[in-house]
Structure 1
Amino acid sequence: MSTSVTGSPPSLRTPAEARTRPLQQWWALSIRGVAKVFRNGEFVFAFISPVFLAICFYLPLSSVMNSYGISYGQFLMPVIVLQSVGFAASSAAMRASFDDTEGINTRFRVLPMPAAVPMFARLAANAVLLVVSLICANIACAFIGWRPMGGVEGTIGLYVVALTVGLLIALLADGIGSVAGSPEATSQALMLPTLILGMMSSGFVPVSQFPEWIQPFVRNQPISQFVNVMRATDYNALTWEILQPTVWWCVGMFGAAVLLLMIGNRKVRA
């Protein structure tokens, strides 16, 4: 008696039949991740974060900066966008950490699933949250006086830079969350560097307003470099000289993210 392949019991199916396609697995896990982001209220915080930041810095400093001939709403826009990106990155790290502590990664390991599928699914959910964060940041910046100054080309370039940096930060944060092993350690690993680099950057005040001894650090650290590129792109005045440091920072972030993700994957499989 012959039995069709599709009608055979699971124990008699070939490995190729039992294995779900990686693209389908990625899609299912991505939908799960986006739904979890929505249930946790992260979309709400994606709106609150840039609004709160814009109010806290624009209201007390706008009159001072305007006296120097600087339109502070225009000046502040890049760092508000980057802080929104940082929020999405923090969520990415916490999501990876919870997947680790709750044993989800261990369950994925025993399934016929490529090791990269869960990571790419988390990245897809992070990308959705990142887009929402950027939209909310732009709305908040529009209310404090930011207007696109570089035309269509400059505005598109601004969003491309913001999305590229955001995805790299989210990928790096995902690696940190995979390695840290607990939400508490992940929060500590992200909070201090983000706070220091954000406050000691050219995002909120010009480099010349810092003490001379710390100006080299402020000028060359990654947040300041990202801010410089975004401002130059917004005015459609980007040059390779301005862009080059950001390119190298992005390459370094990508390399660090890959290394951390490899370490995290090895830890799960140990």
Structure 2
Amino acid sequence: MTTTAVEHGPTMNTTATAVPRSSVGLVPATATLARQKISAAIRSGDVIFAVFGPVVFFLCFYTPLHRQFELGGGDYAQFLTPIILLQAGLFTAITATETAGQDARAGVHERMMSLPIPRVAPFLGRMAWVVVRMVLTLGGGLAIGCALGFRFQGTIVETFSFVLLVVVFGSALSMVTDAIGTVARNSVSIASVLMIPQLILVMESTGLVAAQAFPDWVQPFVRNQPMSVYADTLRALASGSAVEPLAVLLWSVALLAIGVTAIVVAGRAQVKR
């Protein structure tokens, strides 16, 4: 008689069960990436430059120019503060070029594409840091401006519009430069090159002196270039005087449209890589 031995023991299932990855929502993903960017900015010292950069530039322009301006009966701190805040927006945009370039060189985009997060989250995380940086520069610029005589003399709505306009300006430019830094092979060189047009736009504007101080042949450019349009509008909002909104609204819409287009093109270029 044949005896069949049966072993009783734990049965092991060797078939691996696939566990579906749960996707992360846009808001928590963006918040996490934004915190990472802010932490990196704190470690690199960019937060300090964001706050004190406008203070340094304000003093550099105010010290040699305020006496001559105030001989004419004006308050140079009231006149100068808007262009200092706009210049801070330009520097924020230049910094955005380097930040996006660092992410591209480090392969951050490729890693983000492998995660279950919305594709737009890395960009929004960088833009969240841009907005935070703009708020910090506003704090530094307004602090030194108010210490030397700048005042908000308009309504709460006009004051809010003043702040919003500065943030929109810096954010719109940062969208363009973020896209450039994302696809550029050398974002550091691009950031250095961008210093030239920002210097021209600031110096050839009504931000430092009135348009009448420039030669006649260049005054049309000085009056109508974006830095002058924004600076004049900000002064009107700060003083509570009448505002001509058409030009600044057109410039804002144009800059935002260019920024969105640049981001879409840069995103498609990355997908094709």
Match of 1:13 among 5, 12, 19: 19
* Count of equivalent residues: 258
Does the alignment pair 1:40 with 2:26?
no
Shift of 1:99: 0.6
Distance 1:180 1:247 in 2: 30
Distance 1:56 1:159 in 2: 23
Does the alignment pair 1:73 with 2:113?
no
Letter in 2 for 1:163: V
Distance 2:16 2:249 in 1: 50
Does the alignment pair 1:89 with 2:93?
yes
Does the alignment pair 1:54 with 2:75?
no
Does the alignment pair 1:226 with 2:240?
no
**TM-score normalised according to structure 1 size:** 0.89
Which residue of 2 is the match for residue 5 of structure 1?
Answer: none
Shift of 1:44: 0.8
Which residue of 2 is the match for residue 4 of structure 1?
Answer: none
Which residue of 1 is the match for residue 8 of structure 2?
Answer: none
Distance 1:250 1:176 in 2: 19
Distance 1:231 1:254 in 2: 22
Does the alignment pair 1:183 with 2:184?
no
Is 1:54–1:144's contact at 8 Å kept on the other side of the alignment? no
**Cα distance change, pair 106–157 in 1 and its aligned pair in 2 (3 A):** same
Distance 1:157 1:263 in 2: 30
Structure with higher Rg: it is 2
Distance 2:264 2:205 in 1: 31
Structure 1: 5+ residue runs without aligned partners? 1-8
Distance 1:226 1:111 in 2: 40
Letter in 2 for 1:76: L
Distance 1:106 1:189 in 2: 27
Structure with the higher fraction of residues in helix conformation: 1
1:91-139 Cα distance to aligned partner (Å, 9 max, x none) = 2221111111111112212323322110011111111111111001100
Distance 2:22 2:160 in 1: 44
Shift of 1:162: 1.5
In terms of mean alpha carbon deviation, does 184-193 or 63-72 score higher?
184-193
**TM-score normalised according to structure 2 size:** 0.88
Distance 1:63 1:94 in 2: 38
**What do you get for the CA RMSD once the two structures are aligned?**
1.8
Match of 2:113 among 96, 109, 116: 109
Which residue of 2 is the match for residue 245 of structure 1?
Answer: 247
Is 1:73–1:146's contact at 8 Å kept on the other side of the alignment? yes
Does the alignment pair 1:258 with 2:260?
yes
Which residue of 1 is the match for residue 27 of structure 2?
Answer: 23
How many percent identity over aligned positions?
A: 29
Shift of 1:51: 1.4
**Cα distance change, pair 264–189 in 1 and its aligned pair in 2 (3 A):** farther
In terms of mean alpha carbon deviation, does 203-212 or 77-86 score higher?
77-86
Does the alignment pair 1:161 with 2:162?
no
Letter in 2 for 1:99: D
Is 1:232–1:238's contact at 8 Å kept on the other side of the alignment? yes
Structure 2: 5+ residue runs without aligned partners? 1-14
Distance 2:70 2:245 in 1: 27
Which residue of 2 is the match for residue 3 of structure 1?
Answer: none
